[in-house]
């Protein structure tokens, strides 16, 4: 099982970069949520997010959550500012494993998105330095650049950015798509979900959900767990 921690940059009191009617914190959350949704289609991958709404976990809280969870990879999604244009990503200086994953993810991102390639970079950033696993921070365009911002305002482009991240993760970790079966359906466990509630929601039985997902006799499920429900 590959455990991927997705960090939507900024949030809550910290809007991040601002420009052209956009807030970085909103864009990063939209992209992060879509990356998570797309990863559901793959086998043996579990996803946890640093935030799922407009809240502000501190930087140390984000890396601590990933470390305690035992993530295999830390993905931090950001939008740039400062007068430039295009896409770039960062890893911690000298981290060979992170650099290897960066090579794959960067390649897939620039294939997918229509933005200037600003290159693969390294930086002494908290989420890269304090995470115990390989990590990358992506900067998906400049919010204060009119052309980049126009792209970021489009839902199709947000989808393209999300797919670029997913394509990179799929290739980096050799993820396989769920076996084709029109009768299968999966969901991500949310706060407050129980097997009973999910069985009712998806018009199935508790026993089937237990069997499909090899649950224990207490029907234990976890937030962010991927379950077969059909």
Where do runs of H (alpha helix) occur along the chain?
Answer: 24-39, 59-69, 96-112, 126-129, 146-152, 155-173, 195-201, 206-213
Query: Is the model's pLDDT at 178 over the cut of 90?
Result: no
The predicted-structure confidence for 58-76, as pLDDT tens digits, reads as follows 999 999 999 999 999 999 9
Asked if pLDDT for residue 148 goes beyond 70, the answer is: yes
* Percent of the chain topping pLDDT 90: 84
Helix (H/G/I), strand (E/B), else coil: 216: coil
Confidence of residue 184 (pLDDT cuts 50, 70, 90): confident
What is the mean predicted confidence (pLDDT) over 80-103? 98
Q: Annotated catalytic residue: which of 24, 46, 88, 139?
A: 139
Give yes or no: 139 in active site. yes
Q: What is the CATH number of domain 186-228?
A: 3.10.350.10
5-19, 49-63, 173-187: least confident range: 173-187
pTM more than 0.85: no
* Phi, psi dihedrals of residue 6, rounded to the nearest 5°: -110, 120
SS3 per-residue string spanning 132-165: CCCEEEEEEEECCCHHHHHHHCCHHHHHHHHHHH
CATH for 2-173 (3.30.420.40, 1.10.260.40, 3.40.630.40, 3.40.50.300): 3.40.630.40
Q: How far apart are CA 186 and CA 113, in angstroms?
A: 28
In percent, the amount of the chain with pLDDT more than 70 equals 98
Which part of the chain has CATH 3.10.350.10?
Answer: 186-228
Mean pLDDT estimate for the chain = 95
């Amino acid at each position: 099982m590959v455990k991927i921690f997705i960090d939507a940059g900024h949030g809550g009191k910290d809007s991040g970069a601002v420009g052209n009617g956009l807030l970085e914190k909103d864009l990063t959350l939209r992209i992060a949520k879509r990356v998570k949704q797309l990863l559901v289609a793959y086998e043996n991958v579990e996803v946890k997010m640093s935030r799922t709404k407009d809240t502000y976990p501190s930087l140390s809280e984000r890396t601590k959550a990933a470390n305690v969870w035992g993530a295999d990879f830390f993905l931090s999604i950001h939008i740039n500012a400062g007068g430039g244009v295009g896409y770039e990503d960062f890893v911690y200086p000298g981290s060979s494993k992170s650099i290897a994953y960066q090579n794959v993810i960067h390649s897939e991102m620039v294939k997918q998105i229509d933005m200037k390639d600003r290159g693969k970079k390294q930086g002494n950033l908290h989420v890269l330095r304090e995470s115990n696993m390989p990590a990358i921070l992506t900067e998906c365009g400049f919010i204060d650049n009119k052309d980049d911002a126009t792209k970021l305002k489009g839902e199709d482009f947000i989808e393209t950015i999300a797919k670029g991240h997913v394509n990179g993760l799929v290739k980096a970790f050799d993820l396989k798509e769920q076996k084709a079966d029109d009768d299968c359906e999966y969901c991500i466990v949310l706060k407050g979900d129980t097997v009973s509630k999910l069985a009712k929601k998806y018009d199935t039985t508790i026993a089937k959900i237990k069997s499909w997902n090899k649950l224990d006799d207490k029907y234990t499920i976890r937030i962010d767990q991927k379950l077969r429900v059909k």
